[in-house]
Structure 1
Amino acid sequence: MASFAATSRDRGIQLPPAQGNGVLLYGERDLVPRGDARRRGGMPGLVNDLLNAGTIEERERLVRGMLHAIGFEWLAYGTTVQMRGMSAPRSFFTSYAHPAWTQRYFRERYHEIDPRHQDAPCSSLPLVWDLQDVDASAQTRVAMGKARRFLDDFRDSGIRSGVFFSLASPVHPNERTVISLMSSSPSRRWIVESVLGQALTLGLSMHEFLSRHMQPDQPHADNGTPLSALQRDILDCLIRGQSDKEIASRLQLSLHKVDYHLRQLRRRFSVRNRVQLVNAAVQASAVN
């Protein structure tokens, strides 16, 4: 299998915004302020530094400098939503992620079998891992052929250890934010308490910056008319991960009516599937 390990040159590649497999991929150059994103009191210093960065390049230097100072090389940040009992990725911030691994990860749908997504929420503590841990966990949970392909590709990426944690959404009970700091160091033994503390500070500061002060520049609904009460109810059910049958039962509609309204909403938001529709609705603040 050909290796796709990142070099120092390709670590800075900016993946283009895309809707690959229903996942919104966006980077620094796609961010726009969310309301008043000026400096505010009472925030962590790094968040203020990010908000006050004069240019995108300055912000990128700041984040990469912090990552490398701690000992990590990549940072992944994304949101997932529980749909029909499964965790589906909704959006992913690409600027500091491993470019080749990110593309492979979503193309092969490795999020469906990555054991870190199951291991991290089981504890209130962040998950400190290396490849041996992921290998052992994957082989006990995933069909051998699929687990082996995932692990082989993971090794080829050059990623060897890291910190992985997830945060529950205060608004939508079925939504989580996933933050992962990764390194090429072969063992997790170097991630001592002081390193873990700095990793959490950086990850939480990025979360504060991206979730409260910035947002991807997304197309909004294709007309200026407000959503109807029924459309808002359907989108709310969708965000909660409910199936068409569950939506129909809750709103006392026929399945045909639910399907009709979902098609109308997909057309309105110019999206192709349920995950994209949830993402567009949340980004457009259509559902509160």
Structure 2
Amino acid sequence: MKAWFQRLTDLTSIARTEDMLKDALPDFAAELGFDNYAYLYIHPSRTYAVSNYPKEWQRRYFEARYTSIDPVVRTAATTLRAFVWSGEHRQRSESKEIRRFYSEAGDHGIRSGISIPVRTARRHMSMLTLASSRPTLTLEHDIDQIAAVTAVAFLHAKIEQHSTTPTAQLSLSLTPRQANCLKWSAEGKSMKAIATIENMSFATVNFHLNNARKNLDAVSLAQATALATKLGLI
């Protein structure tokens, strides 16, 4: 695998266009015995994928906001090391939604794989996954962490350089009332003041602002306001 990651680094360095990169990655994954590849960039204002996963699965993944519950993404974010995973080796304590996630992924031929996460600017993350339809995965040799991370870091830089067109991405939106309340919040108004201005109850304003925060996948009202402003939603 070390040689494979070195070849990926070499390929990335000479790919002059996004089409060259997208055309080569499926063959590269197949050389190592994998069915699919998926590059995933996770950012509060722009989460997207470049992948040859089935289109239906890519659409479902983002529509259901599976980045927030995907166990592979969670492991990647907490370990920041290349690792092997399998839908077969699950814990009994896993929630119903995670079991459903694994089941849906398996229905699309995604049952095991290798994922390599790297830290990007401002402490965000991107990761490359090589996926297989096999229920479990056995590697003859341990993954060379340095070679793996170096290759994916080069891949991330090249995808960013080309402003590569995503094959799927997270769509962020607000309802008119959410946007209106968030706009007032961005202008420094308190929830009590917004309630008075808009002739709403305090609870209704809180309801709309909380849903706006959830829709933007933000951890706080301040972050939601900043994201909505950056994305031109308010």
Please classify the TM superposition score into its range, dividing by the shorter chain length: 0.5 to 0.7
Q: 1:104 to 1:176 in 2, by over 3 A?
A: same
In the TM superposition, what are the counterparts of 1:116-265 in structure 2 within 5 Å?
116-133=72-89, 135-136=90-91, 139-142=92-95, 144=96, 146-170=97-121, 172-173=122-123, 175-190=124-139, 192-193=141-142, 202-211=151-160, 213-216=161-164, 253-255=188-190
User: Which secondary structure does the structure 2 equivalent of 1:188 belong to?
Assistant: coil
- 8 Å contact 2:77–2:117 — kept in the other structure? yes
User: Which residue, 63, 67, 74 being the options, matches 1:107?
Assistant: 63
Question: Partners in 1 of 2:129 and 2:85 — Cα distance?
Answer: 11
- Cα separation, partners in 2 of 1:93 and 1:60, compared to 1, 3 Å: same
SS at match of 2:59: helix
Distance 1:207 1:149, change over 3 A: same
C-alpha distance in 2, partners of 1:132/1:125?
A: 21
**Aligned CA distance change for structure 1 residues 155 and 191 (closer, same or farther; 3 Å):** farther
Q: Cα distance, 1:199 vs. partner?
A: 5.8
Q: Are 1:64 and 2:26 counterparts? A: yes
TM-score (norm 1): 0.50
* Aligned AA (1:63): L
> AA paired with 2:79?
S
Distance apart, 1:129 and its partner CA: 0.6
Partners of 2:12 and 2:155 within 8 A in 1:
yes
Name the aligned partner's letter for residue 214 of structure 1.
H
> Structure 2 vs 1, CA of residues 188 and 153 (structure 1 numbering), >3 Å: closer, same or farther?
same
The residue correspondences of 1:11-50 to structure 2 (distance < 5 A) are 44-50=9-15
Structure 2: 5+ residue stretches without partners: 1-8, 167-181, 195-214, 218-223
Contact 2:38 2:128 in 1 (8 A): yes
* Residues 101/202 of structure 1: CA separation in 2 closer, same or farther (3 Å cut): farther
The 1-side partners of 2:104 and 2:156 are apart by 28
- How far did residue 215 of structure 1 move? 1.0
Deviations 1:234-254 (A, max 9, x none): xxxxxxxxxx7xx86xxx933
When residues 201 and 184 of structure 1 are mapped into structure 2, their CA distance, relative to the original with a 3 A threshold, is farther
Figure out how many residues of one structure are paired with residues of the other and give that number: 180
Match of 2:200? none
Structure 2 length normalisation: TM-score?
A: 0.59
- Identity between Structure 1 and Structure 2 (%): 21
* 3-state secondary structure, aligned to 2:125: strand
Return the offset for 1:195: 8.4
The Cα offsets for residues 249-286 of structure 1, whole Å up to 9 and x where unpaired, read as xxx9334899xxxxxxxxxxxxxx7479849959xxxx
Superposition RMSD on alpha carbons, in Å? 3.9
Structure 1, gaps ≥5 residues long: 1-43, 83-88, 219-243, 259-272, 283-288
Please name the residue that 2:169 is paired with.
Answer: none
Whether the 8 Å CA contact 1:75–1:181 is kept in 2: the answer is: yes
1:162-192: CA deviations, max 9, x gaps? 112332233x23x222322211233121363
